[in-house]
Structure 1
Amino acid sequence: MKNPLSKLAYCSNPDMHPKSNFLLNRATPDGSMARVRFELKNAKFPFYNPNILPYPAGSEYPYFGLVRTKSKSKSMYHHELAYCDLKWAETAVIGHTVLECAEPGMQLDFGEEWTSPDGSCVKHSFLALAQGQTDPRLFFSALGEPLMIFGTNGHHNCLGQFIVDLRVLVPGFDKKMHLSKVPIRYPRLTEIPRVDLEELEKNWFLMYDPLDSNKEYVHYDYLNRDFSPLINDSSLTTSRSSSRSIVDNLLVDYSESTKSANDIHQATNSLLVTLCDFPCIPTIHNTVLIEIVHLKLMHSLTLYYRRYVVVMNATAPFEILGRTENLMYAGTSLTEMVYTVSMVWDKDNFAGHEPWNEKIHGGQEIWFALKTNRAATNSMSADSLMDSSNLYHGWLNDMVLINFGIKDSDSGCIHVRARELLDCIRLAD
């Protein structure tokens, strides 16, 4: 079968540098990234690593935002998450575009906290204490659920990964998002399983197989790829395979004398994208999964990242098809640590086309199993499911909102078309 990326395996911009994808922001007048300016009463520590979800068209505010912060009790830091509704604004002095809180933010209340099991925190024993919530990832599932994966003290290891539906944590969020017909499958903090847990686990993300009733998989690692179905019973199977050289070859073999090191670091959630403009019909042959991965670079105590989109088959076992070159966000500095956190389709705030209508646009092969099987399984009407799956799936001419932290002290975001994000694809061997 012909690789679905074959039509994208070239640079549409003749001035594109062969080693980077330079991304301009379509939401700002000068094309530079927009800062995310957060406000919380009596806050003493910076906010960073923003997760932004768009509200439906016609909402009072365009976005919901969640950031990471911390507090200090005596000599211990406690990690916390805070949220607010976001609106567009401009800085008073220079006139830069920013997203800022419409009203002062609120801290998420998770209720109970716990310590890690005795003896599970070997490398850093202090992590066994109640750490709070770290490294949040907000995303829409293929069912349209607003989910959050985050890290906290594990039940079976030192620090683990948990999943929860944001609608049970944020008052009124269900109504604001118009998701009353979408079931809540994760009403409480649910620890995500894994065979052979590491002492510290972080930055997992979910993938959905649209031709297998949208079955969920957890993606753990890229090097020696490791993923498994997300299930709620005691059985767990893990698929492992060596990662393709298209990801491996990002690593540099540093000698010990250089004091430098590098690693592949998972970053964002996944999105489903059809490799043509709306309203071309999505099929298994033209639709792929994408996710942003980091090349984590360190010299002595200096840390920074390079960013790449990895492109995978839309169905299990999610074979890697290719990747982009280094993503460079306009307005960020090469001397700053810029960490990509999440990405989401932003179709309502930057509408490029009308919603899908099967009577006008035809059938959708890739969603056939989703409509017939998943809808029945979750007591949803097929039409409701198609509407909510639109939050996970998009086309090349749809807008993607990318959110990133800056030096663990600031936050930013950038809007790009999926076509621009996926320019200059390098195909796997």
Structure 2
Amino acid sequence: MEKQSPTKLTRFFRSLRLSQLPRFYRLVVIPLVIFTAVVVVLRASARRPSTIDLLGGPLAGDLEPSFLETAERRCPAHLAGQTRRIVTSASNPFMTMMRINFMADGALPRFNPSILPLPASADHPYLGFASQVRGSNYELWACELSFGVKKISKRMSMQCATDPVHIPIPITSSSQCLDHHYLALRAGPQVPRAFFSPDGAPLLMYSGNSADDCIGQFVVDLRMYYPNLVQLFPDPPIIYSQPVELRRPGVKQEFEQNWVLMFEHNKTFIHQDLLPRSFSSVGWQTKNLAPKTFNCLASLTANKQAVLHQSTNTLRLSLCEFPCTPTEENTVLVSIVHVKFQEGLHTYFEKRALVTKATFPFDVLGVSPPLHFAGTDEQDLVYAVSLAWDSRSEPRKSRPNVYDFRRSHYVVEPPAEDGAPAEAAAEPEPEPEHKDEPQDEPKQKQDRRVRRAPKKPTPLELREKLYNRNKVLDYTTENRQLDGFESDYYHGYLNDVILIGFGIEDKESAVIDVRASSLVECLKKCNN
């Protein structure tokens, strides 16, 4: 029996004599190539849609029945049967999200953006903040933003209209990273979120090294580190003149993140966790004020290895279109939460709108179906960061003096030092009946003087003035200027536009502007 001649492939493998390769290639290069190939195959398999996605079946955690408590919040027929909600842009002709060009520093991306609308008096419509990681150092960068259109594709995007500047948030060291030693090597603000308080103060909340914990949660007024904001928002008092570490009731954790501030009328609360639910007052941070944990939130993570955590700041929303009268019954708080889960080696965030009562104890009313931002790849890690009412879009744009703090009927004047009310402004002196009569000599000399315009205060002087006003009014636990629902910065209506800032794969920044109604359509009611 004749022997078969070896094939070309067999001869090729026989010609490979690995023993003759250098030791470095045999022990390092070849194992590294094999490992890389395995990782690529696993990631490719993880990114394939699962069977439940292809069939379009209901996701674990969808709640029934639909949330139809008010006539204004009906679920449109064409949306009633959908298990996901595609959120589209209100201004982009392509109806998709828009990327943000933060003018990254070389190969270091800037991601996870927060966007603050600026008053009409500002040179540019928006102010943006984004994270940048340099080694183990976390940095915060900011620039003023404007919309633009690409020359060829005509697609809309946001880009820096001013040179980005580094926000010098103070860095502290940590000595309490007992279980996670590597966290002590991190420095700088991690997962920063910029947002407005109800009185219009631009705040920053972030995770950072803590002297008492490993990684703690801090809040600070951005006007302390971005001086232009002092001139644009001169009226709200500066409460957090330096980074203030917040506390959780009960046992502290080494790594604290994703906390949210919630506002009821004139009080501020810190919402730490959704499961089990935990929140406290700024004035009483050691007591858990949450009456119970809602089972409907626990069902969002049922039947899958997932974790539910908070994502964006909250906004106050009246479930009616402007103009209408906001009341306690028709007004809620809305935010976006994440259901975080793993598929293979990849992390995904399922985004849902969470709706709670606008008053203490902020009972959960409903949860939206999973939200998909048009223009994004749902196989990517899409991380929602911030919410803000867009004052440059209708109908909010047409309201008079949207950013005039003095027009609010909630404003109270600071008391005089002796406790007496401030004196009324003196009435102007009546003009003389006979204008041609000669005036006395001192009056004539006074009229001939050149009156100089008052000197414009510097940002530092304005900042000091606001800080002193804060000490007089004692805003630490209570803000007497917000004894009501309406607020130019925190409150809106269904036909107003919300700016959602989000990051993509910790590499890119993007934004989508949506009608508030699109976030709360077809909510699933939470009964307990």
In 2, the alpha carbon distance for the partners of 1:308 and 1:423 equals 12
Q: 1:425 deviation in Å? A: 1.2
Please list the CA deviations of residues 359-404 of structure 1 after superposition, one character each: whole Å capped at 9, or x if unmatched: xxxxxxxx99x55699994699999999993100011111111111
Please list the CA deviations of residues 177-213 of structure 1 after superposition, one character each: whole Å capped at 9, or x if unmatched: 3x21111011101111122211100011101111xxx
In 2, the alpha carbon distance for the partners of 1:331 and 1:89 equals 17
In 2, the alpha carbon distance for the partners of 1:4 and 1:236 equals 37
Structure whose CA Rg is larger: 2
**Structure 2 match to 1:364:** none
Please list the CA deviations of residues 337-359 of structure 1 after superposition, one character each: whole Å capped at 9, or x if unmatched: 101001100123444464379xx
Residues 267 and 341, structure 1, Cα contact 8 Å, conserved in 2 = yes
In 1, the alpha carbon distance for the partners of 2:333 and 2:162 equals 36
Partner residue of 1:248 out of 283, 290, 298: 298
Give, as a single letter, the amino acid of the residue that structure 1 aligns with 2:240: Y
Aligned CA distance change for structure 1 residues 236 and 4 (closer, same or farther; 3 Å): farther
Please list the CA deviations of residues 91-147 of structure 1 after superposition, one character each: whole Å capped at 9, or x if unmatched: 344232110001221111124x22112xx2133202223521110111110111100
1:297-308 equivalences in 2 (<5 Å): 297-308=341-352
1:13-412 equivalences in 2 (<5 Å): 14-15=78-79, 17-40=81-104, 42-72=105-135, 77-111=136-170, 113-117=171-175, 120-175=176-231, 177=232, 179-195=233-249, 196-210=251-265, 214-231=266-283, 236-254=286-304, 261-352=305-396, 354-355=398-399, 377=473, 389-412=487-510
In 2, the alpha carbon distance for the partners of 1:353 and 1:216 equals 28
TM-score (norm 1): 0.85
Q: 1:26 deviation in Å? A: 1.2
Give, as a single letter, the amino acid of the residue that structure 1 aligns with 2:299: N
Please list the CA deviations of residues 129-172 of structure 1 after superposition, one character each: whole Å capped at 9, or x if unmatched: 35211101111101111000001101211100000000011121
Deviates more, 1:15-24 or 1:406-415: 15-24
Q: 1:6 deviation in Å? A: 3.4
1:407-422 equivalences in 2 (<5 Å): 407-422=505-520
In 2, the alpha carbon distance for the partners of 1:107 and 1:12 equals 46
Higher strand fraction (1 or 2): 1
In 2, the alpha carbon distance for the partners of 1:29 and 1:391 equals 27
Give, as a single letter, the amino acid of the residue that structure 2 aligns with 1:11: C
**Structure 2 match to 1:363:** none
Q: 1:333 deviation in Å? A: 0.6
Q: 1:18 deviation in Å? A: 2.4
In 2, the alpha carbon distance for the partners of 1:150 and 1:106 equals 18
Residues 113 and 503, structure 2, Cα contact 8 Å, conserved in 1 = yes
Give, as a single letter, the amino acid of the residue that structure 2 aligns with 1:207: M
Residues 37 and 101, structure 1, Cα contact 8 Å, conserved in 2 = yes
In 2, the alpha carbon distance for the partners of 1:425 and 1:371 equals 35
Residues 27 and 414, structure 1, Cα contact 8 Å, conserved in 2 = no
Q: 1:12 deviation in Å? A: 2.5
Q: Aligned-pair RMSD on alpha carbons?
A: 2.8
Higher helix fraction (1 or 2): 2
Give, as a single letter, the amino acid of the residue that structure 1 aligns with 2:275: L
Deviates more, 1:372-381 or 1:161-170: 372-381
Partner SS for 1:389: coil
In 1, the alpha carbon distance for the partners of 2:276 and 2:413 equals 32
Q: 1:287 deviation in Å? A: 0.6
In 2, the alpha carbon distance for the partners of 1:125 and 1:36 equals 34
Aligned CA distance change for structure 1 residues 226 and 198 (closer, same or farther; 3 Å): same
Residues 183 and 378, structure 1, Cα contact 8 Å, conserved in 2 = no
TM-score (norm 2): 0.70
Q: 1:309 deviation in Å? A: 0.8
Q: 1:326 deviation in Å? A: 0.8
Residues 1:7 and 2:65 are matched in the alignment:
no
Q: Which segments of 5 or more consecutive residues in structure 2 lack a partner in the other structure? A: 1-66, 402-407, 416-471
Q: Which segments of 5 or more consecutive residues in structure 1 lack a partner in the other structure? A: 255-260, 358-366
Partner SS for 2:71: coil
Please list the CA deviations of residues 282-313 of structure 1 after superposition, one character each: whole Å capped at 9, or x if unmatched: 11111111111111111232101111111111
Residues 411 and 482, structure 2, Cα contact 8 Å, conserved in 1 = no
In 2, the alpha carbon distance for the partners of 1:244 and 1:373 equals 41
In 1, the alpha carbon distance for the partners of 2:307 and 2:354 equals 15
In 2, the alpha carbon distance for the partners of 1:334 and 1:94 equals 23
